[in-house]
Amino acid sequence: MKATVIANSNIAFIKYWGKKDVEQNIPMNQSISMTLDGISTKTTVEFSERFLHDVFILNNQIQTGRKLERVINFINLVRKDNTNAKIVSFNNFPTGAGIASSASGFAALAASLNKALDLEMSDRNLSSLARQGSGSATRSIFGGFVEWQGETAEQLFPEGHWAEIRDLIVILSEEEKKISSRKGMNLTVKKSKHYKTRQKHLPKRIHEVKNAIKKKNFERLAEIIMKDSDDMHKCIEEAGINYLNEKSGEVKKLIKEINKKKIICGYSFDAGPNPHIITLEKHVKEIKKELNKISSKLLIARPGAGVKYTEEHLF
C-alpha cells in the first residue's frame, strides 16, 4: 500500500542535548517543544515487488551514502519481508540549517511506514519509533506543546491552547551543519564541565516552562527559553564546537535591546545559526521590522498539529 504523511517540525523550548543510551536514542534529559505549523515534511512510502532496491528521493534528489543508509536502517526496524521501498520526501524549508529537518522527516517517515505496512501503532508507539530515527522527531508526532521523556513523547497542551504564540525563524544561513547533532552531543557529554550543572537545573526549568505554558505567562516562558538555549550552547562551546555565527550574535543583541522595556520575545537556537524568535502574534509586526535589519528571510509559524495522513501522494 502507498501511504503519505505530512509532519511538522518543532522548536524545543527546553533542549534535548545528550544521550543516556546512544544506540536507542534515549535522552539524558526531558525536553519540551512546540510543533510548528507549516514547517513541514511530506513523505510518500510504497513497498512493491516492482522496486529492485530501496530508493529515497529527498527534494527531487536521489539520495546515496549516509542519508540513504540512515533511512534504510530506519525502515528495517519495521520491514515485514524482503520487499523494497520507494520513499519520496519534500521539505518546505531549507534542509540542515538548524531547522530540525530530521524532526519532521523521521516523524513523517515513521507515520507513513505505519500506514503503508498496516502496523496500527498508537501515537505513543509511533513517537517511540520516530525517536530511533532522530531524537527531536519523537516530539513531532504530536501537535501543540509536547514533552519527551525516556522512550516516548506526549502532548501537554493542544495547538489551540495558546494559539497566539509565534515562532519567527530568521534564515541567516542555508548551509548544512558540519558537525551532526549526534557527534556534537557525544562530544559535549564527554568534554563539557557545565553539562552537569545544566542537568541539575533542568527539573526546575521543566516545571517552570510547563507552568508558563499552562498559565500563558509569556514573559516567564521567554526568559526560560533564552536561558536554556544559552546554557546548551555554553556546554557545546566547552566541547570546542560552535553552531552559531556572527549574525546569530547580532540577533541575540537585538532581542535583548527590544526586551529592555518589557519582555516581548525570546530567542532559541538549535544546532545551527538560525534563530527562532518566540513571541506573540500582537508583536510580530514590530519584531519583524527589527529583524529585517539583519535578514529579510523569515519564516513565521504558529503552534501546529501532529502528523496528518493524506491521500495526495507524491508519486
> What cell numbers appear for 293 in the block?
535589519
Determine, following the binding rule CB under 6 A, whether residue 278 of this chain makes contact with ligand PMV. no
Q: Where are the beta strands (DSSP E) in 79-120?
A: 84-91
Least distance in angstroms from the C-beta of 148 to ligand PMV: 8
Type of residue at 101: S
Q: How far is the CB of 27 from ligand PMV (least distance, A)?
A: 8
Task: Select 30 or 114, whichever has its Cβ closest to ligand PMV.
Answer: 30
Does 303 help bind ligand PMV (rule: CB under 6 A)?
no
Binding mask 48-87 for ligand PMV (x = CB under 6 A): ----------------------------------------
Asked whether position 41 contacts ligand PMV by CB under 6 A, the answer is no
CA distance 217 to 213: 6
Choice from 8, 9, 29, 31 touching ligand PMV (CB under 6 A) = 31
Q: Kindly give, in sequence order, each residue whose CB lies less than 8 Å from that of residue 234, ignoring residues fewer than 6 positions away.
A: 192, 194, 198
* CB-CB contact of 171 with 47 (8 Å): no
Q: By C-beta, is 75 or 97 nearer to ligand PMV?
A: 97
Does position 271 interact with ligand PMV (CB under 6 A)? The reply is yes
* d(C-alpha 298, C-alpha 275), whole Å: 10
Are 238 and 197 spatial neighbours (Cβ–Cβ below 8 Å)?
Answer: no
Give 103 or 225: the residue with its C-beta nearer to ligand PMV: 103
**Which DSSP letter does residue 282 get?**
G
Chosen residue from 40, 112, 136, 279 binding ligand PMV by CB under 6 A:
136
Q: Which helix (DSSP H) or strand (DSSP E) does residue 16 occupy?
A: none
The answer to whether residue 16 forms part of the interface with ligand PMV (CB under 6 A) is yes
Are the C-beta atoms of residues 109 and 133 closer than 8 Å to each other? yes
Residues near ligand PMV (CB under 6 A): 12, 15-17, 31, 100, 102-103, 134-136, 181, 270-271
